[in-house]
Structure 1
């Protein structure tokens, strides 16, 4: 009979211990939910005040687009990207172009989205502003009949599905990336 009483007592102690752990766990979950809620409020606050719209992460990179339309000056745009830890977008392959193109389409279709790809140094030789790397010639990132470099005026590029060469100084938003 004594062993039955001991067993019941041991079970009561184990149940009490489990109940305390469950209560601690419930409190931790409640605290984490509050932390998540606070983080979401902070993120919304921050996002509303940053001058960029941000993408999801793609292959370790994040892309951001200026929120305001301005005359595109490549050096100013590059400085603005750098201020926020990035640089003007550099497209490495067709998959990345599709991702960035889809992102700019979600942001709006009524404006130009300008990149750092340009042929300011030498007509027909397109290189990225930040890295000075040439765009790989094997990639077919251009829209049909592009680049057409009308009378050496179109030295900057925009994303419209694929790439177009355009005149620098046109009003638009610029696309940055960060790793």
Structure 2
């Protein structure tokens, strides 16, 4: 290589080194910023210091330029698509919100269609009451004395149970065996040994068979009747027990 060629190469290297290495310039196309990689910077520096033949120097400089151009073209193409990660994220969120709103509107529409049918539904007893032969029965979840049990039933528009038939007696006796000893609306508080129901009616002779053997014995002021085991028993009214309320079932009228 003669002196003139060497000068031109040195001039070229000086120019490239100034733009690719020393200045650290970031290239930009429509907002895309690129900084030459460190390896390219270092390689360009060695090339321009004459450590390799001129042909290799020109080859590596050309390769560096091609790589730079490819990166810039890729960045420009990405910007030309008109979408950025931020815009894609916003679009996804908007689509999700739109789907949720559509689901809510669908559920509301279905409920509106069902409302007329629900209004025509009829339950003769409340959800926690039991229907039997035209009456509703409530079996308490906790215990209290006989007088408080009478009051509790009145507060819900019912009465501490008054038994009117053998079938009703059998049903209530079985339920009390499953749930525990329970008060009924029968006592001799007004007249000793004269048992009356809360509705004022006398205990029928035909119902006397439901007393357990040896009962009622009035042992210790036992003036209130309870369901116990397979029959009835008289017990002190102040003792806490479960209780059973009774009221007529509601009628369902058809429009």
Q: TM-score range by the shorter chain?
A: 0.5 to 0.7
Q: Select the structure of larger CA radius of gyration.
A: 2
1:129-167 deviation per Cα after TM superposition (whole angstroms, max 9, x unaligned): 2x111111122221111111115x110011022211111
The TM-score normalised by the length of structure 2 is 0.46
Task: Give, in whole Å, the separation in 2 of the partners of 1:65 and 1:104.
Answer: 8
1:138 alignment partner, one of 206, 209, 223: 206
Aligned to 1:83: 155
Q: Could you tell me how far apart the structure 2 residues matched to 1:105 and 1:162 are?
A: 10
Match of 1:54 among 126, 129, 153: 129
User: Where do 5+ consecutive residues of structure 1 fail to align?
Assistant: 1-27, 40-45, 48-52
Q: Which has the higher strand share?
A: 1
RMSD (Å), alpha carbons: 2.8
Gaps in structure 2 of 5+ consecutive residues? 1-109, 249-255
C-alpha displacement of 1:79: 2.0
1:57-76 aligned within 5 A: 57-70=131-144, 72-74=145-147, 76=148
1:55-89 residue CA offsets vs partner (Å, 9 max, x unmatched): 2x21211111221122x142x22221111121010
Deviation at 1:128, TM superposition (A): 1.0
The alpha-carbon distance between structure 1 residues 163 and 154, as it changes in their structure 2 partners (threshold 3 A), is same
Q: CA deviation at 1:54?
A: 2.3
Counterpart CA distance in 2 for 1:144 and 1:62 is 30
Higher relative contact order at CA 8 Å, sep ≥6: structure 1 or structure 2?
1
Alpha carbons 1:154, 1:165 under 8 Å: kept: yes
In structure 1, the residue matched to 2:164 is 92
Q: Is the 1:115–1:158 contact (alpha carbons within 8 Å) kept by the matching residues of 2? A: yes
Are the aligned partners of 1:94 and 1:141 in contact in 2 as well (CA < 8 Å)? no
Q: What is the aligned length?
A: 131
- TM-score, L = length of structure 1: 0.63
Residue 240 (structure 2) aligns with: 171
Give the ranges of 4+ consecutive aligned residues of structure 1 lying more than 4 Å apart after TM superposition.
none
Distance 1:73 1:102, change over 3 A: closer
